[in-house]
């Protein structure tokens, strides 16, 4: 065993007050490269402690040594890196076979940390130095910034991608009653809610049910559950648990941390890599309480622990926590801890009781009978020692009168409890100081949220049980939260928030290394409100999120700003209560993003297509060579999957009225069998979408939209139909039909071989539509296209998608039919000068400027966007979207580059590609109207600074007369 | 002009191929009989969870003020069916989605027969063809898959057999029809592969395996 591990901590085989559980087997793990043994089921911290490790980490700012404190999985002391994952709480994570555990925030090791001089140097710097220094001279800041960033932070994220395939689960739960915390109150609430017939979910952050009772030997008295009276508390909860466990309406989540409570009783909870979203009708919060945090000189030394922390080590993990202990107390419960320590073989050097000497209570008498010396009217003033406590000084409670010192390696603080208020406070009510109970409390809770147990203040088992039972019943019955009562003898008075005995290492917040001295300096600088104080000094902003320090911070903030205890306010408590990884919140991709695939997707994938994301859709970008694909369309025959187009069916007696209202064009003269290009504008007159409207059958229209706007237009149309008194049947046919576009000079000849319908130009001219059959499948045929070539769009039931595609590909072999993707289509449409809404237009583009005014019939009585369109027309075009072409030798600009005139910005390129057919660059650009004249030369600045000149065209550069299209 | 009969494919046909599913033809559809071992898959009905593809069933929407009467021509119980409830038999199920909208599910290839029954009614009829995907979740542990997939409370005392729920499953809008033994998930077919993969992914923890119509044959009995 290396020297850095002490030999003062050992396992114990038996205890006079407990039957220690038999170990559930052993395992091995590694700590700093050293192999160690552990008991199955215990935490990493317990395993390390049992192996003699007392120094766990170095503090955030001063790099002071830190050791085990509360064994409760909260504080910063136990943050370690486990299997390359940083910031794991060693007193929360259960040790597993083969685990690799490493310390963090220290170099080269926690025992010899080269950053340790910060403990002496940083206090010499001004308060909040990291905000104030290193900015001058200016050139120095980048250097210091790197240095500070390197020094700051906790742990190192593993960027190797080792965990990239880790499974993160999300799960939804819907209990009638959700109970957080499985101490005596939580267990009683569970029993009561079950008795009322509820389905109960019990959430416990530890791996064992029972809470603090698991390590309490005090006998239960006067409990309403008669069978528990006379039993030690650990046996009483054991009996309760046995009774509950087999209940079929109870689900228990162990090792699960509830880290947020949101509206409508939504609870967020985490267990390892699992994320639970719990929506309960009622919630009972019984999270319990933690030992109070006591501020004194060097109160952060390793070896200073809470009473419940050492009790857990003894009773649950069979560990003797130290060799010689001083127990600092202010209530009788501290004698219980002293007794347990004594039974575990720790020499209890003294019990230091802050209360004045009075008639001896039974616990005190029991401890005195063990030969342990008891000092009344005193408390701890300071601790000293290099890497751990070696000696404590005692004195008066006001910190003024020292009485003497005692050598020890363990200081146990049993000075009362502070409720865990984080979840309670998320109902929107801040905790306030309860003068009577001497604790911070949240008195008002949202409807259907109940609080029970030590979260309302310390009380004996029977009282906690009764309060839990009442809360469980009320939660089950939907009644109001029963009032919480504490008797005078149950209240543990608070010691002074800081034992002001001198010295500068009175740590208020151990997570962020904030001392009382810094706290006072921050107030002196004007940060005298609790929230600003928190932000400036960092108190309560560390890994424990104030769970350890919130009471002390609230009390000292009041004291140091001249307020009374009754004015003590805690800082706002927000989720997450405990650290949550991004992996847990994000889950896996499947949980977040759904994908849409066309009926021909698998064929495209087999053909080697690369895909692009078009919204949720996966569309073939290309099959390897977009330029060759475009060329195939120009010279022969191409086929593209256009199933992603939005498709809507409209019919009914008022369908034309509806179309006339929602679209800006006129369609009363659109004959059956004819198609018209249409645009859609918003109520603001802005160009929103385009597509076609086909009069397919008498009174039946078929409308297509762009891929991305299908959902929005469907919703828009449905919305208008709920407000307009029109008889129209609107049907979403998007998923019903797959669609392909056959494009190229050979399109007619090829398709005519497959359909009986006459496709001659006379019988089926440009912008025609009709129904026919293709290999026995009923299809809709449209003579339209986006490529500028002779094109036919075929829509057919989507279940035939892949078969139809294969059929066409097979029959197209003699025509050298080639599939083409979105990239080739983009080249082809830019050669033709066709715009794409959303790509070439934005939220300010109106149809007059975009060149689609021909789709508007302004004379119509009323239609969506009419008023704004009239205004746009009256104002005239300020900008115009124009097609342009470059010289054959010019390089191709990127999409989005600027258009300039002698350095003055006059527009931007929206789409730009090289045209294989024309041998030059073509594109679309927005320019000021004065530069939009046909034949104008516009200067386009490339991304690398070079400039090219484009010629503004009236129409697309390819086939401007549309002869191919109409051939 | 010579017609070559084209095969109807479900949106999961690529997954059939990838997973080596054993397929059959039914009513012109290529559909999975089982994936790996029908005995293992049958066993999962009692001990685990199963996911099957029923996308080949007939799916017809009746919409409009006459929808209830039209649905009543198919099954007289439909006229008084509460919203978000279903009637089901072995061959046909009627799901009432709103006051005037029904989704009719029928055996594969029986769409025309069903459509004939509502031919003269004043109602908007949409034969979805393959436009709707249909996945079916079965097996004793299927609830564990659902609670990892759906943010809605689907506990059986609230959502009993015969209930219809409109919800999102892995962010995909679905109509869920619950029978005693199955959860029928209807959704736009374009999402089918994505939904299948997401369900299989979260179901890995509880032993979810894919299967076909030999293990979970098409039938719409609500059960007890």
d(CA A90, CA A309): 13
* Interchain CB distance below 8 Å, B194 and A199: no
Contact B198 A592 (CB under 8 A): no
- pLDDT above 70 coverage of chain A, percent: 99
**Which uninterrupted H or E stretch holds A702?**
strand A700-705
DSSP-based three-state secondary structure for B219: coil
Instruction: Using the predicted structure, report yes or no on whether residue A358 has a pLDDT greater than 80.
Output: no
User: For residue A456, what pLDDT is reported?
Assistant: 97
Q: What is the mean pLDDT of residues A248-262?
A: 96
Question: Is the pLDDT at A592 greater than 90, yes or no?
Answer: no
Residue-wise pLDDT for A900-949, tens only, equals: 998 899 999 999 999 999 999 999 999 999 999 999 999 999 999 999 99
Contact status of A347 with chain B (Cβ, < 8 Å): no
- The C-alpha atoms of residue A885 and residue A952 are separated, in whole angstroms, by 7
Q: Name the one residue in this structure whose structure tokens are 């024309």.
A: A918
Q: Which of A590, A735, A800 sits opposite B198 (nearest CB)?
A: A590
Closest among A591, A600, A736 to B197, alpha carbons compared:
A591
**Is the confidence at residue A389, as pLDDT, over 60?**
yes
List Cβ neighbours of A268 (8 Å cut-off, separation of 6 or more). Answer: A258, A259, A260, A261, A262, A275, A276, A277, A278, A575, A576
Q: Is the pLDDT of residue B93 over 60?
A: yes
Stated as kind and residue range, the H or E segment containing A211 is none
Residue A131: which pLDDT band, with cuts at 50, 70 and 90? confident
Phi, psi torsion values for B11, nearest 5 degrees: -65, -10
A763-775: average pLDDT:
97
Burial per residue of A384-414, b for 16 or more beta-carbon CB atoms within 10 angstroms, e otherwise: ebebbbeebbbbbbebeeeeebbebbbbbbb
Lowest mean pLDDT among A25-34, A136-145, B99-108: A136-145
A686-734 tens-digit pLDDT: 999 999 999 999 999 999 999 999 999 999 999 999 999 999 999 999 9
A839-872 pLDDT, tens digit each? 999 999 999 999 999 999 999 989 999 999 999 9
CA distance A681 to A847: 8
Distance from CA of B30 to the nearest CA of A (A): 10
User: How do residues A146-184 score in pLDDT, each as one tens digit?
Assistant: 888 777 777 888 888 887 778 888 899 999 999 999 999
Q: What is the mean pLDDT of chain A?
A: 93
Position B44 scores a pLDDT of: 93
Round the CA-based radius of gyration of chain A to a whole number and report it: 38
At residue A4, does pLDDT exceed 60?
no
- Which chain A positions have a beta carbon within 8 Å of B202's beta carbon? 169-170, 590-591
Q: Does B22 touch chain A (CB under 8 A)?
A: no
| Mean pLDDT of all residues in A767-788 | 96
Identify from A277, A590, A804 which residue to disrupt to test chain B contact, counting B C-beta atoms within 10 A and taking the largest count: A590
The mean-pLDDT minimum among A97-101, B34-38, B182-186, B203-207 falls in B203-207
pLDDT of A6 over the 60 cut: no
Q: What is the dihedral of CA A207, A209, A215, A219, to 10 degrees?
A: -170
With cut-offs at 50, 70 and 90, classify the pLDDT of residue A800.
Answer: very high
Question: B6, A807: Cβ pair inside 8 Å?
Answer: yes
Given pLDDT bands bounded at 50, 70 and 90, which one contains residue A752? very high
Surface-to-core class of residue A33, CB atoms within 10 Å of its CB (0-12 exposed, 13-18 middle, 19+ buried): exposed
Beta-bridge partners for A402: A395
CB A913 within 8 A of CB A930: no
Backbone angles phi, psi at A331, to 5 degrees: -160, 170
A495 touching B, CB under 8 A?
Answer: no
DSSP class of A790:
-
d(CA A292, CA A419): 9
The reply to whether residue B155 touches residue A174, judged by beta carbons under 8 angstroms, is: yes
Interface of B with A in 125-154 (CB under 8 A): 126, 128-132, 147-148, 150-153
What mean pLDDT, rounded, does chain B reach? Answer: 94
Query: What pairs with residue A313 in β-bridges?
Result: none
**Per-residue burial over A870-907, b = 16 or more CB atoms within 10 Å of its CB, e = otherwise:** eebbeeebebbbbbbbbeeebebbebebbbbeeeeebb
Alpha-carbon distance of B45 to B136, in angstroms, equals 12
CA separation, residue A105 to residues A66, A124, A299, A343, A443 (Å): 11, 21, 20, 36, 39
Count CB pairs under 8 A between chains A and B: 133
pLDDT for the residue B121: 82
Any A CB within 8 A of B189 CB: yes
Q: Which element (helix H / strand E) includes B30?
A: strand B29-34
Helix or strand (DSSP H, E) at A437: none
Please check whether residue A776 touches B, CB under 8 A.
yes
User: In the structure encoding, which two tokens stand for residue A460, read together?
Assistant: 């004996």
Q: How do residues A654-693 score in pLDDT, each as one tens digit?
A: 999 999 999 999 999 999 999 999 999 999 999 999 999 9
In chain B, the N- to C-terminal Cα span, in Å, equals 52
Are B8 and A803 inside 8 Å of each other by CB? yes
A669 token code pair: 């003269």
Q: Which residues of A touch B7 (CB under 8 A)?
A: 800, 803
Whether residue B220 is predicted with pLDDT greater than 60 in this model: the reply is yes
Q: Taking the CA atoms of chain B, what radius of gyration do you get in angstroms?
A: 17
What is the Cβ-side half-sphere exposure of residue A737, based on CA atoms within 13 angstroms? Answer: 25
- pLDDT (mean) for A804-809: 98
Report which of residues A115 and A255 the model is more confident about.
A255
Identity of the residue in B3, B6, B155 whose CB atom sits nearest the CB atom of A800: B6
pLDDT number for residue A2: 45
Sign of the dihedral through C-alpha B152, B157, B158, B161: positive
Structure tokens at A622: 């290309």
Q: What is the mean pLDDT of residues A69-82?
A: 92
**DSSP state, residue B196:** H
A332 or A145: which leads in pLDDT: A332
Strand partners, A268: A260, A277
User: What value does the mean pLDDT take over residues A111-137?
Assistant: 82
- Residue-wise pLDDT for B172-209, tens only, equals 999 999 999 999 999 999 999 999 999 999 998 889 99
Query: How many residues can be counted in chain B?
Result: 224
Looking at residue A714, its pLDDT comes to: 97
């Amino acid at each position: 065993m290396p020297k850095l591990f002490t030999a003062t901590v050992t396992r114990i085989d038996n205890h006079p007050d407990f039957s220690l559980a038999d170990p559930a087997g052993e395992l091995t793990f590694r700590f700093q490269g050293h192999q160690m043994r552990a008991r199955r089921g215990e935490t990493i911290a317990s395993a390390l402690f049992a192996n003699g490790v007392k120094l766990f980490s170095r503090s955030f700012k001063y790099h002071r040594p830190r050791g085990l404190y509360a064994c409760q999985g909260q504080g910063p002391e136990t943050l370690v890196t486990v299997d390359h994952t940083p910031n794991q709480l060693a007193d929360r994570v259960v040790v597993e076979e083969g685990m690799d555990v490493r310390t963090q925030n220290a170099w080269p090791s926690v025992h010899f940390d080269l950053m340790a001089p910060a403990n002496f140097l940083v206090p010499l710097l001004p308060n909040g130095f990291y905000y104030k220094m290193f900015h001058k001279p200016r050139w120095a800041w980048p250097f210091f910034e790197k240095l500070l960033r390197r020094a700051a932070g906790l742990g190192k994220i593993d960027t190797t991608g080792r965990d990239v395939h880790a499974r993160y689960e999300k799960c939804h739960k819907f209990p009638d009653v959700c109970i957080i915390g499985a101490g005596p109150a939580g267990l009683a609430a569970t029993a009561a809610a079950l008795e009322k017939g509820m389905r109960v979910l019990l959430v416990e952050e530890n791996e064992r049910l029972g809470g603090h009772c698991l390590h309490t030997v005090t006998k239960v008295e006067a409990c309403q559950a008669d069978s528990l009276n006379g039993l030690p508390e650990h046996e009483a909860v054991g009996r309760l648990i046995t009774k509950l466990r087999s209940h079929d309406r109870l689900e228990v989540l162990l090792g699960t941390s509830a880290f947020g409570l949101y509206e409508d009783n939504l609870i967020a909870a985490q267990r390892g890599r699992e994320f639970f979203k719990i929506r309960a009708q009622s919630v009972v919060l019984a999270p319990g309480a933690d030992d109070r945090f006591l501020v004194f000189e060097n109160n952060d030394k390793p070896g200073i622990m809470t009473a419940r922390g050492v009790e857990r080590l003894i009773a649950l993990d069979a560990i003797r926590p130290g060799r010689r202990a001083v127990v600092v107390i202010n209530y009788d419960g501290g004698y219980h801890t002293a007794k347990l320590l004594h039974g575990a073989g720790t020499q209890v050097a003294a019990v230091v009781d802050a209360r004045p000497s009075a008639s001896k209570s039974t616990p005190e008498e029991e401890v005195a009978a063990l030969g342990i010396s008891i000092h009344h009217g005193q408390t701890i003033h300071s601790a000293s020692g290099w890497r751990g406590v070696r000696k404590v000084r005692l004195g008066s409670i006001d910190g003024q009168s020292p009485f003497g010192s005692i050598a020890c390696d363990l200081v146990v603080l049993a000075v009362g409890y502070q409720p865990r208020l984080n979840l309670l406070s998320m109902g929107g009510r801040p905790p306030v100081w309860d003068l009577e109970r001497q604790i911070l409390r949240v008195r008002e809770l949202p409807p259907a949220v109940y609080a029970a147990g030590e979260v309302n203040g310390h009380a004996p088992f029977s009282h906690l049980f009764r309060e839990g039972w009442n809360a469980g019943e009320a939660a089950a019955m939907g009644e109001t939260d029963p009032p919480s009562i504490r008797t005078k003898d149950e209240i543990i008075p608070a010691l002074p928030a800081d034992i002001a005995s001198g010295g500068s290492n009175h740590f208020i917040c151990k997570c962020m290394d904030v001392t009382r001295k810094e706290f006072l300096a921050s107030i002196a600088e004007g940060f005298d409100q609790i929230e600003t104080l928190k932000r400036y000094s960092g108190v309560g902003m560390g890994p424990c999120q104030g769970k350890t320090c919130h009471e002390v911070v609230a009390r000292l903030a009041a004291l140091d700003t001249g307020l009374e205890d009754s004015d003590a306010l805690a800082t706002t408590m927000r989720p997450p209560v405990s650290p949550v990884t991004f992996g847990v919140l994000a889950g896996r991709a499947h949980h977040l993003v759904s994908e849409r695939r066309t009926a021909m997707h698998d064929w495209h994938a087999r053909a080697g297509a690369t895909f692009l994301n078009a919204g949720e859709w996966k569309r073939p970008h290309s099959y390897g060579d977009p330029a060759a694909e475009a060329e195939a369309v120009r010279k022969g025959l191409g086929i593209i999957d256009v199933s992603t187009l939005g498709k809507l069916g409209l019919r009914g007696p008022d369908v034309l009225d509806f179309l006339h209202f929602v679209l800006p064009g006129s369609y009363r003269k659109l004959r059956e069998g004819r198609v018209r290009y249409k645009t859609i504008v918003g109520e603001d007159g802005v160009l929103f979408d385009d597509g076609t409207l086909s009069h397919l059958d008498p009174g039946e229209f078929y409308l297509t939209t762009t891929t991305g706007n299908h959902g929005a237009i469907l919703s828009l149309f449905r919305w208008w139909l709920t407000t307009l008194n029109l008889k129209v049947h609107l049907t979403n046919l998007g998923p019903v039909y797959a669609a392909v576009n056959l494009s190229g000079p050979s399109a007619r000849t090829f398709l005519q071989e497959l359909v009986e319908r006459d496709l001659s130009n006379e019988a089926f001219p440009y912008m025609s539509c009709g129904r026919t059959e293709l290999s026995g499948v009923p299809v809709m045929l449209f003579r339209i296209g986006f490529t500028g070539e002779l094109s036919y769009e075929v829509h057919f039931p989507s279940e035939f998608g892949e078969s139809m595609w294969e059929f066409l590909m097979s029959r197209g072999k003699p025509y050298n039919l080639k599939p083409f993707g979105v990239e080739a289509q983009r080249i082809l449409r830019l050669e033709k000068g066709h715009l794409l809404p959303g790509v070439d237009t934005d939220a300010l583009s109106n149809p007059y400027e975009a060149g689609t005014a021909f789709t508007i019939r302004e004379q119509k009585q009323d239609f969506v966007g009419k008023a704004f369109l009239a205004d746009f027309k009256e104002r005239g075009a300020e900008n115009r979207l124009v097609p342009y072409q470059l010289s054959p030798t010019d390089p191709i600009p990127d999409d989005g580059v600027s258009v300039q005139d002698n350095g003055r910005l006059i527009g931007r390129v929206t789409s730009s590609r090289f045209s294989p057919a024309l041998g030059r660059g073509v594109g679309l650009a927005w320019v000021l109207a004065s530069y939009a004249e046909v034949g104008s030369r516009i200067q386009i600045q490339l991304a690398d600074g070079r400039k090219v000149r484009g010629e503004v065209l009236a129409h697309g550069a390819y086939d401007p007369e549309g002869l191919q299209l109409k051939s | 002009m010579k017609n070559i009969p084209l095969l109807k494919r479900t949106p999961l046909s690529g997954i059939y191929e990838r997973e080596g599913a054993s397929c059959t033809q039914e009513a012109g559809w290529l559909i999975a009989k089982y994936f790996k071992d029908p005995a293992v898959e049958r066993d999962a009905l009692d001990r685990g969870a199963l996911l099957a593809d029923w996308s080949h069933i007939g799916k017809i929407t009746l919409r409009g003020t006459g929808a209830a009467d039209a649905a009543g021509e198919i099954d007289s119980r439909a006229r008084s069916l509460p919203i978000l409830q279903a009637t089901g038999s072995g061959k046909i199920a009627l799901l009432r989605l709103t006051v005037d909208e029904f989704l009719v599910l029928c055996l594969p290839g029986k769409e025309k027969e069903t459509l004939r029954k509502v031919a003269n009614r004043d109602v908007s009829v949409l034969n979805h063809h393959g436009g709707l995907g249909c996945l079916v979740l079965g097996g004793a542990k299927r609830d564990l898959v659902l609670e990892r997939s759906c943010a809605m409370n689907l506990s059986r005392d609230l959502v009993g057999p015969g209930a219809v729920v409109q919800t999102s499953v892995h962010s995909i809008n679905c109509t869920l029809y619950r029978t005693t033994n199955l959860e029928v998930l209807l959704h736009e077919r374009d999402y089918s592969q994505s939904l299948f993969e997401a369900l299989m992914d979260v179901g890995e923890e509880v032993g979810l395996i894919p299967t076909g119509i030999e293990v979970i044959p098409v039938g719409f009995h609500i059960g007890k």
